[in-house]
Amino acid sequence: LAFDADGVEGESVYAIRADGLAALVHETDSLYDADDITRVREWLLDHQSVVDEAGEAFGTPLPFRFDTVVTGDDEAVREWLRDASDDLHAHLADLAGHWEYRVEVARTDDPEFEDDRLDELAAEIEAADEGRAFLLEKQRDRRRTELRRAADDDVAADARERLRPLAWEFEENDAADEHVAASFSLLAHEDDEGAIGEQLDAVAARDGIEVRFTGPWPPYSFAPEL
């Protein structure tokens, strides 16, 4: 089992094998801990890079969380592989050919709404004195927020309905910013990637909507706790 990659801080990654399994590891003397957020971010990227390269080399991997450390030498890792063999084989079989895909549905601009209440408020603002106009403008802002949320909910529901049947597992994420109407993570089979793209094309065909679709990624969000 040949694998050549650099791990955290350039440590050489190698494979330890037992019971038909292989763990990709590198040596460390301690857990990784630092107050420097830039350094921690670099460690995370190093870790992710190894997982990504493993996926390209061998198919869907079972990614471990960063800073997972087995105490002991290579034989301790082999012993752990043998002890966890049944669970690991089952998880790998379940995940085989499945990858994580990430979707964000965003508005490219603030929509213009045709709404009777907005029209009424606009007329009242024009006729009002300065103090009352200020209060009416606040009402107008609240109404626009309500309409925008309803429009976002409609777009999100459409995307959700299209994507759920194509996903083995499906998660909804918090929106990255106020312009994101919906954010999803999907665990889906690689054969369905084209179908996912086609469904997202239909979502993106809406006026003022942009879809960001990334993947395939190793199943970071869907890996079991070990």
Q: Is the previous residue joined to 165 through a cis bond, with omega within 30 degrees of 0?
A: no
Of 177, 157, 201, the C-alpha closest to 108 is: 177
**What are phi and psi for residue 116, nearest 5 degrees?**
-60, -40
Q: Coil, strand, or helix at residue 166?
A: helix
The pLDDT, as a whole number, for residue 1 is 62
The pLDDT, as a whole number, for residue 70 is 87
Of 225, 198, 58, 120, the C-alpha closest to 24 is: 58
The pLDDT, as a whole number, for residue 184 is 96
Distance CA 167, CA 165 (A): 6
Q: Which residues of the chain have pLDDT under 70?
A: 1-2, 115, 118
The pair of three-digit structure tokens given for residue 179, joined into one six-digit string: 């312009």
> In Å, how far from its chain's centre is CA 17?
30
Q: Where do the domains of the chain lie, and which CATH numbers do they carry?
A: 5-95 (no CATH), 98-222 (3.30.70)
Rg (CA), the chain: 25
- pTM of the prediction? 0.80
Of 108, 133, 135, the C-alpha closest to 211 is: 108
The pair of three-digit structure tokens given for residue 154, joined into one six-digit string: 């409609």
